[in-house]
Amino acid sequence: MEPLFKTYQLKNGIRLIHRPNQSEVAHFGLIVHSGTRDELPEEHGLAHFMEHMFFKGTLKRSAYQIISRLEDVGGEINAYTTKEETALYATFLKQDYRRAIELIQDIFLHSKFPEKEREKEAEVILNEIQSYDDSPSELIFDRAEEMLFPHHSIGRNILGSEESLKRFRNGSLGKFQVENYATEEIVLASVGSIPFEQIKHAAEKYFSEIPQKVRLRQRFQPGVAQAKKIIEKRNTFQKHCMLVGEAYSLPDQKRLQLYLLNNILGGPGMNSRLNLALRERRGYSYSAESHYAPYTDTGVMMIYFSCDSDRFSKSLQVTREEIKKLRTKLLTDKRLIHARKQLVGQLAISSENNEHLMLTMGKSYLVFNRVDGLDTIRKKLDDITALHLRETANEILHPENLNMLIFE
């Protein structure tokens, strides 16, 4: 039986992963294992700033030519930055795959980071920062991580600040790239109806000449702040509340248990316990959810709701009661079976989005050097018991481990 994913490694350490399909539309991305957490204190926001500056001109292309290269044939190019990754990726008709791969190579290797574009792009990002400040339901997630990791770069927001944006110069971008972009921490990911030998040939042609390079900066595991309560006055119409604590890292064997537990507590389904308890049954809150974000050496668990001030105490009490139930009561066999099926269904549906599939499989290959198929994940979920989930709830959701952040 032909493998679902095909892989290859260049001599310089760059890895390639490809998933064939039958679509006329293909996707290609370059993911490098470097993000906000790799910044020095004076570089706050530099990884994200670099993502923007990648599109401002190369040695042979202007900013307009970069944008037009794929858009002229109906394609798209984009990028993102997280705490631990930076990605350049494109969507295009399959016959244009060489055009897309060459463009991403040109941006990644030959960007000039023109000084004349720096101030203009800094203003764009400043507007992005201000839009976050105007959205407490988004800002509170950033502030919660700052609260949890107060003295570490992984706790800082991705965008930077007005002060840090003024410090960036061309040399800052080049220095960050040299010290963090290791070839052994770069993955090329592809999904499309393109023969793998052609993808391999393109990868060799455009990326094999990059000299092998190791990471110069080392990562250090962040320390975690003791559980505390912080109230910030923001003159909002509603109160916003976040409970946040440290969680399992990406390599932790209990990570899937927490994914399942999070899905039950406050995942995207309307039948999550928080949504049912706060919105459907009582009408206290429009938004009640939980999120689990694992990193390479730590993780974050967040539980969020917003409500009117006069319903805040009751909403917090209900939230704590739902957490306590997970810590003290075992799920029934029927409920556990439903929870497993729901998570598998969500994963299957998300994998139908081929752009999302390309990025998630690329990240998995980057971190684990493998990609688990849906059948493998289903088997792992079947091994998770109600006792496992209760133990996980007590480890991660114990009141002594949760900080509280309130916007009012």
- Predicted confidence (pLDDT) at residue 305 exceeds the cutoff of 80: yes
304 and 387 in a common domain: yes
Of the residues 173, 207, 241, the one at which a domain ends: 207
Q: What is the pLDDT of residue 170?
A: 65
Instruction: Report the domain count for the chain.
Output: 2
In a domain, 217, yes or no: no
Percent of the chain with pLDDT over 70: 99
Quick check: 343 and 260 in contact, CB under 8 A?
A: yes
Q: What is the pLDDT of residue 75?
A: 98
162 and 48 in a common domain: yes
In a domain, 151, yes or no: yes
260 and 203 in a common domain: no
Q: What is the largest CA-CA distance in the chain?
A: 63
- CATH of residue 259's domain is 3.30.830.10
What are the Cα distances from residue 39, in Å, to 169, 217, 244, 336?
15, 9, 23, 41
What are the b/e assignments for 151-168, b being 16+ CB within 10 Å?
A: ebbbbbbbbbeeebbeeb
Split at pLDDT 50, 70, 90, the class of 2 is: low
61 and 22 in a common domain: yes
Pairing of strands 403-407, 229-232: parallel
In a domain, 271, yes or no: yes
User: Domain range spanning residue 401?
Assistant: 229-407
In a domain, 234, yes or no: yes
Split at pLDDT 50, 70, 90, the class of 327 is: very high
Residues 266-282 have a mean pLDDT of 97
Q: How far apart are the first and last CA of the chain?
A: 58
Q: How far apart are CA 44 and CA 48, in angstroms?
A: 9
Residues 146-166 have a mean pLDDT of 92
- Predicted confidence (pLDDT) at residue 147 exceeds the cutoff of 90: yes
234 and 203 in a common domain: no
Q: What is the pLDDT of residue 384?
A: 98
Quick check: 90 and 28 in contact, CB under 8 A?
A: yes
- Predicted confidence (pLDDT) at residue 119 exceeds the cutoff of 90: no
294 and 180 in a common domain: no
249 and 174 in a common domain: no
Q: What is the pLDDT of residue 132?
A: 84
191-250 pLDDT, tens digit per residue, is 999 999 999 999 999 999 999 999 889 999 999 888 899 999 998 889 999 999 999 999
In a domain, 295, yes or no: yes
Of the residues 149, 172, 207, the one at which a domain ends: 207
Q: How far apart are CA 34 and CA 164, in angstroms?
A: 19
Residues 157-165 have a mean pLDDT of 91
Q: How far apart are CA 37 and CA 158, in angstroms?
A: 9
374 and 243 in a common domain: yes
In a domain, 403, yes or no: yes
Residues 292-306 have a mean pLDDT of 97
Pairing of strands 25-32, 186-192: antiparallel
Q: How far apart are CA 243 and CA 37, in angstroms?
A: 22
142 and 251 in a common domain: no
266 and 144 in a common domain: no
Closest CA to 403 of 268, 243, 289: 243
34 and 140 in a common domain: yes
50 and 104 in a common domain: yes
Secondary element (H or E) of residue 346:
helix 333-351
Query: Tokens standing for 14?
Result: 């760059």
Quick check: 65 and 112 in contact, CB under 8 A?
A: no
Q: What is the pLDDT of residue 118?
A: 85
What pTM does this model have? 0.94
In a domain, 377, yes or no: yes
Q: How far apart are CA 49 and CA 39, in angstroms?
A: 12
Name, of 113-117, 161-165, 177-181, the range with top average pLDDT.
Answer: 177-181
What are the b/e assignments for 113-123, b being 16+ CB within 10 Å?
A: bbeebbeebbe
Q: How far is CA 402 from the centre of its chain?
A: 22
Of the residues 175, 207, 239, the one at which a domain ends: 207
Residue reference for tokens 């309560």: 229
In a domain, 222, yes or no: no
- Predicted confidence (pLDDT) at residue 78 exceeds the cutoff of 60: yes
Q: How far apart are CA 182 and CA 302, in angstroms?
A: 31
Q: What is the pLDDT of residue 258?
A: 98
16-51 pLDDT, tens digit per residue, is 999 999 999 999 999 999 999 999 999 999 999 999
354-367 pLDDT, tens digit per residue, is 999 999 999 999 99
Strands (E), 225-358: 229-232, 239-246, 287-294, 299-307
Residue reference for tokens 């960050």: 176
- Predicted confidence (pLDDT) at residue 58 exceeds the cutoff of 70: yes
3-state DSSP assignment of residue 129: helix
